[in-house]
C-alpha cells in the first residue's frame, strides 16, 4: 500500500503550498550558505523530501549558484601579475 499511497501523497503535495515557506526558505538558505547548525540541517533534509515547493526552491537556489560560478568569473589578464610584481620590486618603501 505504501508505494501507492506515497505516490498519491507526492502528487497531492506537488500542488500544495508549504504552510511555512518563509521559514523554510530562510533555513534552507542557511544550509546552502554553509551557515546552518545541525538542527537546521536535519530540518531541511526531512522537510524537502516531502515538501515539493521547498524542494523546487532548494534546487533553484543551487542551480543559480552553479550558474553564477560558471558564468560570472573573469580570470585576471596575464600581464596583471607581472605588473604588480614589478611595481612591488620598484617600491622605494621596502
Partner 1 sequence: MSNEGKDIHKSTKNEKNRIFEEEFLPHINAMYNFGYRLTFDEDDAKDLVQDTYLKAYRFTDSFQKGTNAKAWLFRILKNSFINDFRKKSKQPGKVDYQEVESYYNSDDVDKSITTDLRVETVQDMIGDEISNALNSLDVDFRTVIILCDLEGFKYDEMAKILDIPIGTVRSRLHRARNLLKKNLRDYAKKMGYK
> What span, in angstroms and rounded, lies between the C-alpha atoms of 58 and 45?
11
Sort residue 34 into left (φ over 0), alpha (ψ -120 to 50) or beta: left
How far apart are CB 25 and Zn ion at their closest, in Å? 8
In the list 3, 19, 87, 92, the residue contacting partner 1 (rule: CB under 8 A) is 87
Name the segment binding partner 1 (CB under 8 A); options: 6-14, 43-51, 81-89: 81-89
Query: What is the b/e burial string over 59-69, where b = at least 16 CB atoms within 10 angstroms of the residue's CB?
Result: eeeeeeeeeee
Q: Which residues of the shown chain bind partner 1 in the complex (CB under 8 A)? A: 22, 25-26, 29, 33-35, 56, 59-61, 63-65, 67-69, 71-77, 80-81, 83-84, 87-88, 91, 93-94
Amino acid at each position: 500500500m505504501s508505494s501507492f499511497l506515497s505516490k498519491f501523497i507526492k502528487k497531492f503535495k506537488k500542488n500544495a503550498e508549504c504552510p511555512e515557506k518563509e521559514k523554510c526558505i530562510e533555513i534552507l538558505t542557511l544550509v546552502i550558505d554553509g551557515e546552518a547548525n545541525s538542527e537546521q540541517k536535519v530540518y531541511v533534509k526531512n522537510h524537502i523530501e516531502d515538501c515539493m515547493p521547498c524542494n523546487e526552491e532548494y534546487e533553484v537556489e543551487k542551480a543559480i549558484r552553479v550558474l553564477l560560478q560558471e558564468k560570472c568569473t573573469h580570470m585576471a589578464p596575464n600581464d596583471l601579475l607581472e605588473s604588480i610584481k614589478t611595481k612591488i620590486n620598484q617600491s622605494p618603501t621596502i
